[in-house]
Structure 1
Amino acid sequence: MTLRQAERRRFRFTGAANQRSVRFSQELQVVCRFDGGVVVRHQVQIQIFRARRKRFPVSVRSVLIGGARWVSAVSCPVAGARSRLCGLFLSRAHGWCVPCWAGCSGRRQAVVTRRRVPGGCHRYRQIVRCWKAFTRRCAEGSSMEQADVLIIGAGASGGVAAGALAQAGFDVLCLEQGQWPDRADYPAQRRTYELEARKQWSGSPNVRGRAADYPVNDVESDVAPLMYAGVGGSMVLYAGDWPRLLPSDFRVRSLDGVADDWPLRYGDLQPFYERTDAAFGVSGAGGDPAYPDGAEPPLPPLPIGAIGARMARAHDRLGWHWWPAAQAVLSAPHQGRRPCVQFGACMQGCPEGAKASTDLTHWPSAVAGGVRLLTGARVSRILMSGNGLATGAEFVRPDGSWHVARAEVVILAANAVGTPRILLNSSSPRYPDGLANSSGLVGRRLMVHPFANVTGYFDEDLTSWRGHVGAKIACYEFYETDTDRGFVRGAKWSLAPTGGPLDAALPSRAGNEVWGPDHHEHIRKHLGRTISWGIFGEDLPDEANRVTTDSALTDSSGIPAPKLNYTVNENSRRLLDFHVARATESLQAAGAYETAAESLMRYSGWHLLGTTRMGTDPATSVVDEYGRSHDVPNLYVMDGSVFVTSGGVNPTSTITALALRAVEHLIEHRREQRVPA
């Protein structure tokens, strides 16, 4: 078949309909890098069909959707159905002859020759050079993974989804850009752990700079995003605080006239809260008056210590709420894990394994149940079929090799920065604004919980450096809206340890003048003699706060990095000012002779939420209440991106409960699920 004949004939991948002719059809992007830094991106549709001549197993024909074309059908004598294929590419605009790799792996970067070739690809030597490059790439080959369900991200929600799918008998593949964490590497057992927390074990990927991390442009963000890449995700470095959203958090529009209501209520999620509590091994005390009645946490509360007891007595005198905080940290042995030994270094990994993270609680059993977890697999984009369904994802390995994973259902669990990054990087002529983005809301409505810290100084040694970091006790006294305060919504307070000797000595607690004649007195004042309230303020959604992609910044694989635009709004500023004043009052009631406050702390962006919000209307939301995309029926989001509002509490408990609810709905309705042919 000639190229002209091929162009006249329309091939379409429709399952069995054209199996005799078409073997594979895929839209892909070819990236050409020219001398002088010029980058040209071409969208092409490649179709692989059976050749008529016996000596060639397949032929390749592609029609370019803009500005240039593939010149002649190319037969591949060595590549199988799953191997990389290529063709000779002629750019009419630039006149270069370019070897372009395509096939199953999708996006490739083409390297062009420096010399212009008169007559384009019809020069014999250039054709031979391109053909040699082609056959070399074909010979290298490329594995193409296949599964029923593809999960992108092995963190909190990815682990929950994988475990449920494995139990239901699905063939599951998970792609994770990081590696399995090694508890022996965690710095809590080393004297330098507080120094390592500021660099190697920082929560910021920009500070940490590991190979598995991607950079984030946060220059235009008031808060720096914090996250961790690896099996277990950011749970490896989170504090373990495990509160739930309160009933009012699901009805903010109805109650306070701002933001939006969720398409579900607390009662819809409560059974899943209770089940994830059991799965993660949550410690706590039942009967908290801030919450509706329900099952008690599976384990007793952790010790609240001297600082918790002191603040509890103060709140009793003030008549304010307090309660032993629910923590995803073991107070007793549970499912083969040992209880907390009070290292006080939860946010640099728990060497004891007492703090719950899915690398301990979910992934071992999921892998034993048949789930394939591929680490060191960085996803660049979601692949689509011609009928508007997701067919899998393209990913790159640490050695620079590109691969494809095919699946009938794709689940994104990459956090509220990583998920919109992948969707926006999946743009194409059919989806110019990114995938699943007909609403224009992918990446918008970013929420991060503005954070403040109020510290009280006491005469007595309270050993306040010791204990689990999440929260000894929690306070919800000022959580609900009171319009007389001049703002809406509220905040949760968490009482946590105040750090060891190096944390007391180094900025920011010690200010900018770390050394000097008053250094030892400063340490005596801070170490073990301070109590701090951490204040998580509700962050109302704003479409101007968003995640986009930065064409000028890429990760080590050349994939465009995310860029954050985030500004703390006036409501949040007033909210934090009020809560800082009340927390100061609380500490003074406990006997503090001095207090200090840090408000709107920059490095506090752990709680990344809202960038693919759920809802019932496709015009005003990205996914439905079960995380299914309105635009792509077999594409799901099961991470913090789906939050409609942020609440004023740590979100991991809600993220995992939502993921369990969503994946079980997917399993229950699997027979109605649309999948690619």
Structure 2
Amino acid sequence: MKYDICIVGSGAGASPVAYTLAKAGAKVLILEKGPWLTEKEFFKDELAISLRDAYNPSLNDEQHVIEEQYETESGESFWQGEPTSESGWSFWNGNVVGGSSNFMSGYFHRLKPIDFRLKTEFGEIPGANVEDWPITYQDLEPYYARVERVVGVSGKVVKHPHQEPRSSDFPYPPLAEHAVSTWIDQAAKIIGYHSIPVPRAVLSRPDMGRNSCEYSGYCSSYGCSTGAKGSGRAALLNHAVATGNLTIIPNAKVYHLASNASGDISAVHYYNQFGHKKTVNASLYVVACQAIETSRLLLASKSKQYPNGLANNNGQVGKNLVFSAGGTGRGDFIYEELSETKQAELKQVGPFINRALQDWYQIDDKEFDGVNKQGKAKGGTIDFLFYQNPIARANGTERDSNGELIWGEQLQTALHKEFTSYKTLRFEVFNDWLPTDDCFVSLDENITDKWGDPVAKVRIGSHEHDLLVGEYLAKKGEKLLEQMGAKNISISVSSYPPTNLMAGGCRFGVDPKTSVLDKNCRSHEVSNLYVTDGSFMPTGGSVPYTFTIYANAFRVADHIVKHWQQNLVS
């Protein structure tokens, strides 16, 4: 069967396209490398999440090669790659229908107008490839609002210094909040911070055939057993399948996109669940299998027309990969130092903290010593959270202060102290990971996956400016923890990327020489190819990416509908 649209991937970048096109009457096919799991398969299994990485491939079957920079004793630097099968450092985020959106925390902050024009606002930064977006916040705002309605976002608008323009309030009321949320609010007010509620892609009341949140306390990294979390599968693909116009083939690993003499895609080649080679055809093609794997697939799809990979005659595929810069902080609240009421509030399990700070989304501080030495820079977001997973909390108690393994009564005492004497409040910092020439995707010539195809080689160089901004923000979070009375406070900023937040590699732009896609995420070189996952982003912003990926995919889907309809007429 020939389809109107063939989509590779099924996550946040793919599901809005499938949903929109299926609703419009197009025959849509999704090829997803992972299995098709539903709420029935999503248990709150801590071992499966913490120790077994149950929803991702075995690194012996599928892996990446990660290149890091090292220095010799003489001060010379060099890059060296290591397969993740050896390091155990997984860059997979959820190989199932719905992709990593099944396992997100669902922090749905919008980007702000300034995120679309970093180069204009702050100028060039030496060593960084910063570009303005070819669209504006106003272009994307209606689609943010659509995601809030269709995917389901719960929240409350509170005015603060960096509140972005909105056309409407959130369609669902805020989720139940943890008592510690009010502690944060009170401390923030005292020191002049603006504590704001965090919008979450989790239903606070039943709707659209989905249940509301049951406040199990297990959300981040876990599949949602109620359907409350706005995964691409629960919120969009289920409805698209119900139209009769969407076909999903799970366990289908796409390995090559064939192109014809005119340079367009002519077929998709994939392995089915039995390892047999299959081929499908469509009129239009969408690639949305997360940033690294999207670049890998295009680079692997070589042909006479594209000797360096599909849509890569300009050499830009895989370039300007970005993650999310930032850091973390933590502080302990000692039970014996608190009243019985405060202890009871702290021990509450289930409701979300849902608090963030964005007072420094734009830094204007003479004490900030950034790369440009102006005291001004793009800042970021601080989100607060608890680690509810006991296995994760216990991890680390098995060693003493010297790093030696402990057991028996000593281990028992350490575990008892961990769970009965204090609770740790944490925060995460999100700020821009500037695109550079030292962060990109290529193909490894020596390492292959279980099908014999070259794996992606990922260089993870960062920019020093990212660390300066991250440290500045982390110190602001540290000050709030101090005001709250936390003890054992520590902060950490790292140049290592969080592997669940990746974008770039196929950035969109006006100039075909420096970008892979046009402003509608259509390939400059391949007229029937669109890329709709986070690969399109030229800069990442200072919030988690999923909300923006959803919104942009809905925007692009509207353009694909017009493209498909034009093909019908012609």
TM class by shorter chain equals: 0.7 to 0.9
Q: Is the 8 A contact 2:436 2:462 kept in 1?
A: no
Match for residue 630 of structure 1?
524
Match for residue 396 of structure 2?
507
Q: Is the 8 A contact 2:439 2:459 kept in 1?
A: yes
Structure 1 segments, 4+ long, off by >6 Å, are 508-511
Greater shift, 618-627 or 599-608, is seen at: 599-608
How far the C-alpha of 1:456 sits from its partner, in A, is 0.8
Match for residue 132 of structure 2?
261
Aligned equivalents of 1:633, 1:464: Cα separation in 2: 56
How far the C-alpha of 1:672 sits from its partner, in A, is 4.7
Q: Is the 8 A contact 1:628 1:635 kept in 2?
A: yes
Once the two structures are superposed, what CA deviation does each residue of 1:360-402 show, in whole Å capped at 9, x if it has no partner?
Answer: 1111121121211111111011111111111121111121210
How far the C-alpha of 1:348 sits from its partner, in A, is 1.9
1:297 to 142, 158, 170: 170
Match for residue 467 of structure 1?
350
Match for residue 405 of structure 1?
280
Match for residue 149 of structure 2?
278
What's the RMSD between the two structures over aligned residues? 2.5
Match for residue 481 of structure 2?
587
Once the two structures are superposed, what CA deviation does each residue of 1:634-666 show, in whole Å capped at 9, x if it has no partner?
Answer: 100011000011101011111011011111012
Once the two structures are superposed, what CA deviation does each residue of 1:230-264 show, in whole Å capped at 9, x if it has no partner?
Answer: 11100111111111111110010110113111011
Does structure 1 residue 174 correspond to structure 2 residue 30? Answer: yes
Match for residue 163 of structure 1?
19
- Report the 3-state secondary structure (helix = DSSP H, G, I; strand = E; otherwise coil) of the residue aligned with 2:382: strand
Q: Is the 8 A contact 2:432 2:466 kept in 1?
A: yes
- Report the 3-state secondary structure (helix = DSSP H, G, I; strand = E; otherwise coil) of the residue aligned with 2:504: coil
Query: Following superposition of structure 1 onto structure 2, how do residues 536-547 of structure 1 map, counting pairs within 5 Å?
Result: 536-547=430-441
Partner amino acid, structure 2, of 1:218: I
Q: Is the 8 A contact 2:434 2:462 kept in 1?
A: no
How far the C-alpha of 1:181 sits from its partner, in A, is 1.4
Q: Is the 8 A contact 1:633 1:674 kept in 2?
A: no
Q: Which runs of 5+ in 1 are unaligned?
A: 1-144
Once the two structures are superposed, what CA deviation does each residue of 1:197-216 show, in whole Å capped at 9, x if it has no partner?
Answer: 2233368x4xx5189x7312
Q: Is the 8 A contact 2:178 2:351 kept in 1?
A: no
Q: Is the 8 A contact 1:629 1:636 kept in 2?
A: yes
Greater shift, 263-272 or 333-342, is seen at: 333-342
Greater shift, 482-491 or 449-458, is seen at: 482-491
Q: Is the 8 A contact 2:179 2:348 kept in 1?
A: no
Match for residue 46 of structure 2?
194
1:443 to 318, 322, 347: 318
How far the C-alpha of 1:628 sits from its partner, in A, is 0.2
Once the two structures are superposed, what CA deviation does each residue of 1:494-553 show, in whole Å capped at 9, x if it has no partner?
Answer: 111222433222138978556463763565356662111111121111132001111222
Aligned equivalents of 2:250, 2:145: Cα separation in 1: 30
Aligned equivalents of 1:478, 1:509: Cα separation in 2: 38
Change (3 A) 1:239 1:523: farther
Q: Percent identity?
A: 29
Does structure 1 residue 352 correspond to structure 2 residue 246? Answer: no
How far the C-alpha of 1:353 sits from its partner, in A, is 1.9
Once the two structures are superposed, what CA deviation does each residue of 1:291-344 show, in whole Å capped at 9, x if it has no partner?
Answer: 223311111111231221111111111111211100001111121212112222
Q: Is the 8 A contact 1:390 1:635 kept in 2?
A: yes
- Report the 3-state secondary structure (helix = DSSP H, G, I; strand = E; otherwise coil) of the residue aligned with 2:16: helix
How far the C-alpha of 1:226 sits from its partner, in A, is 4.0
Aligned equivalents of 1:510, 1:311: Cα separation in 2: 32
- Report the 3-state secondary structure (helix = DSSP H, G, I; strand = E; otherwise coil) of the residue aligned with 2:281: strand
Q: Kindly tell me the number of residue pairs found equivalent between the two proteins.
A: 523
Change (3 A) 1:608 1:164: same
Match for residue 655 of structure 1?
549
Query: Following superposition of structure 1 onto structure 2, how do residues 122-137 of structure 1 map, counting pairs within 5 Å?
Result: none
Once the two structures are superposed, what CA deviation does each residue of 1:51-110 show, in whole Å capped at 9, x if it has no partner?
Answer: xxxxxxxxxxxxxxxxxxxxxxxxxxxxxxxxxxxxxxxxxxxxxxxxxxxxxxxxxxxx
2:116 to 250, 275, 299: 250
Q: Is the 8 A contact 1:226 1:603 kept in 2?
A: no
Aligned equivalents of 1:283, 1:198: Cα separation in 2: 28
Q: Which runs of 5+ in 2 are unaligned?
A: 71-88, 125-129, 336-342, 371-376
Aligned equivalents of 1:657, 1:650: Cα separation in 2: 13
Change (3 A) 1:184 1:667: closer
Greater shift, 452-461 or 639-648, is seen at: 452-461
Partner amino acid, structure 2, of 1:177: K
Aligned equivalents of 1:221, 1:547: Cα separation in 2: 15
Match for residue 667 of structure 1?
561
Match for residue 85 of structure 2?
none
Match for residue 150 of structure 1?
6
Structure with the bigger RCO (C-alpha within 8 Å, sep 6+) is 2
Aligned equivalents of 1:165, 1:611: Cα separation in 2: 25
Does structure 1 residue 309 correspond to structure 2 residue 182? Answer: yes
Match for residue 229 of structure 1?
95
Match for residue 209 of structure 1?
58
